[in-house]
Amino acid sequence: MDERFQRLRHARMEKGYDTAAAAAEAFGWNRNTYASNENGNAPFSYRKAKEYAAAFGVRPEWLYDASGAMRPVGRAGLVRVIGLVGANPEGSVLFSDGQEPGDLAPIPPGGTEDAVALQVAGHSMRGLADDGALIYFEDQRTPPTPDMLGQVVVVETESDEVLVKRLLRGSEPGRFDLESIAGPTRHDARLRWAAHITAIVPPHQARKILIRGG
């Protein structure tokens, strides 16, 4: 698989999607754009490689330029802690730092190997998850679904922010209001994906189960 588009096709099939159209529909991608990326007619950027890699469970470096292993290296029964989630200095926006420090945590009850976790930093989510807690979700990168409305979920916006917010209807289809646990509501955001929170582990237990540095 010397070509980028060949690796994309292989990753899609390994994930269990028989056709490019099926994958595009599952993840809310434009069918023509994705098909062009996969058949080699339109080479995709590293930014797009990161999106595809997250959806198919492979490393973006491998997908983009065949660097390193195809899949993230982990351990049986463990999942990655992909970053910190907290509040900005104004206390209004919850965010992920976007780093992958190599920390690991056990798969939560009912979770799968596609699960990932965020560790809470600070007190902006008091009442939901305190400083040091772990928030788990299934890293499937699919569009918001109706059953998420009114729920606190993990989302990624079109501006590359990963947020923990209560998901509400926006003023028009395809837009959503994002209600903070603390701070003002963000209105009419466009989202790349949303995921249900599957487990929250309180700080005292999180300290016991975290494996630092993998």
* CATH number of the domain encompassing residue 113: 2.10.109.10
Contacts 24+ apart (CB under 8 A), 108-113: 108/136, 108/198, 108/199, 108/201, 109/199, 110/198, 110/199, 111/79, 111/136, 111/138, 111/198, 111/199, 112/138, 113/79
71 belongs to a structural domain: no
- Are 11 and 60 part of one and the same domain? yes
Q: Place 93 in a pLDDT band, splitting at 50, 70 and 90.
A: low
Which residue segment(s) compose the domain that 139 sits in? 78-209
Percent of the chain clearing pLDDT 90 (strictly above): 52
Residue 180 — pLDDT band, cuts 50, 70, 90?
confident
Could you tell me if residue 73 is inside a domain?
Answer: no
Q: Can you spell out the DSSP letters for 5-30?
A: HHHHHHHHHHTT-SSHHHHHHHHT--
pLDDT top residue among 76 and 101: 76
Decide if pLDDT at 49 tops 90. Answer: yes
Same domain membership, residue 94 and residue 200: yes
Distances (CA, A) of 16 to 19, 127, 145, 154, 195: 9, 38, 21, 24, 20
- Predicted confidence at residue 122, as pLDDT, reads 83
- With 90 as the cut, is the pLDDT of residue 150 above it? yes
Residue 70 lies in a domain: no
- Asked if residue 91 has pLDDT above 70, the reply is no
Q: Are residues 48 and 96 in the same domain?
A: no
Domain-ending residue, one of 38, 65, 92: 65
The pTM is what?
0.71
Question: Is the pLDDT at 100 greater than 60, yes or no?
Answer: no
Q: Report the alpha-carbon distance of residue 13 to residue 56 in Å, rounded.
A: 9
pLDDT of residue 99: 46
Domain count, the chain: 2
Q: What is the mean pLDDT of the chain?
A: 87
Higher per-residue pLDDT: 177 or 162? 177
* Residue 134 belongs to a domain: yes
- Are residues 15 and 48 both part of a single domain? yes
* Tens digits of residue pLDDT in 62-71: 999 998 888 7
At residue 162, φ and ψ (nearest 5 deg) are -105, 120
**Are 36 and 99 within one domain?**
no
Q: Residue 57: its pLDDT value, please? A: 83
* Residue pLDDT, tens place only, 131-142: 999 999 998 888
pLDDT higher than 50, residue 17 = yes
Residues 125, 25 share a domain: no
pLDDT above 70 covers what percent of the chain? 91
